[in-house]
Amino acid sequence: MGQLLQFTINGLMAGAIYALIAVGIVSVFKATRVVNFAHGYLIMFGAYFYFTFAVLVPQAAWAPDWLASWQPGWMMDMREGLPMFSPLAAVLDWLANVPRILLGLAGALLCNAALGLVIERTLMRPLMGQSVFAMIMLTVGLISILSGSAQLIWTSDAEFVPSLAPNTPIRFALFGQTIFLFGADLANMVIALLIFAGIVLMVRYTKSGIAIRATAEDQSTAYSMGISVPKVFSRAWVLASTTGAVAGAILATRNGISPALGLFGFSVLAIVLMGGLDSYLGVFLAAMIVGVLEALTQWQLGGEWAGIVPYVAVLVVILIRPHGLFGAKEIERI
């Protein structure tokens, strides 16, 4: 029972990260009706941007010393006599990295937003009015461009980056069983869920969100109501890119950085298809289900089997519900 609870909680934490990644794919689809196959590589660029501003810039000769490692006097005093692996020592290690963590997040958000805007303005917007298939194939071509560019700009070697939160071990009892977690994983889950909830509320209640929903329903009608459809497209791509930057930073702290990080997007695309391309609720539930199934599969069968779980799950769901768990069924009138 204890291991079942442990792996279930681990799966829920992983599912929250999947949901954060999936929200970018859904946002672009809701606004443009285009499935962005290159979203995983936007996440990869976000991870590399975080690495650049959190690791490379603080190590530069011109950067101030406090940016690389913030060590005020009171922190040095607190370190004296602490065991190496004590929770307080982990918190102090994280505090020393706070300036470069904040710089890394700010740089990743701004640079990835600019990248998403450039892609939309230079590649996607000229295809407005053309077939959706042409735009989808363009995102497929982007995969090679972004992957190759990352290897040219940075190295292909995996790199270490600072965690977004203190990685202190946490133990607690649940239903009489001891559960063990890491603080960074718990914080990553909270960050992912807050961003996901914020985007859902924005799309539902703000003017920008209403414009996205109206454009998704009918672009011609949206134009006639005074909505700038090109601006809606740009906002959707920027939204997907910024959420991808946060997801990239989280994945970088968990798995390191390499161009292979972009492949993560294909697993999440399967989750989006399972939940429904235009349903935030659907992809959230699908992300949580797949996260738990992966964790339980890893527990029972080993990690090599966990990688196929999203694809098996989406095949089963699509056979029963072709539009996903909560996807809207399209009705064509003749």
For the chain, state the CA radius of gyration. 21
- Tell me the C-alpha distance between 225 and 248, whole Å: 37
pTM metric for this prediction: 0.90
pLDDT at res. 334? 42
- Tell me the C-alpha distance between 316 and 265, whole Å: 20
pLDDT at res. 332? 47
Residue 75 inside a domain? The answer is no
- Tell me the C-alpha distance between 246 and 199, whole Å: 13
pLDDT at res. 191? 93
CB 76 within 8 A of CB 133: no
Q: Which domain holds residue 11?
A: 2-49+101-320
Residue 148 inside a domain? The answer is yes
pLDDT at res. 333? 45
Kindly state the tokens that stand for 95.
């505090």
Strands 177-182 and 169-174: antiparallel
Residue 83 inside a domain? The answer is no
pLDDT at res. 154? 85
Residue 330 inside a domain? The answer is no
Provide the CATH number for the domain around residue 219: 1.10.3470
Non-local (6+) Cβ contacts of 12 within 8 A are 189, 288, 291, 292
296 C-beta neighbours (distance < 10 Å), count: 18
Q: CA torsion sign, 281 to 261 to 294 to 36?
A: positive
- Tell me the C-alpha distance between 35 and 43, whole Å: 15
- Tell me the C-alpha distance between 219 and 145, whole Å: 29
pLDDT at res. 198? 92
Q: Crossing angle for the helix pair 207-217 and 183-205, nearest 10 degrees? A: 70
Residue 78 inside a domain? The answer is no
pLDDT at res. 85? 66
- Domain count of the chain? 1
Given a cut of 70, the residues of the chain with pLDDT beneath it are 1-2, 84-85, 156-158, 329-334
pLDDT at res. 112? 96
Q: What angle do CA 15, 17, 23 make, to 5 degrees?
A: 100
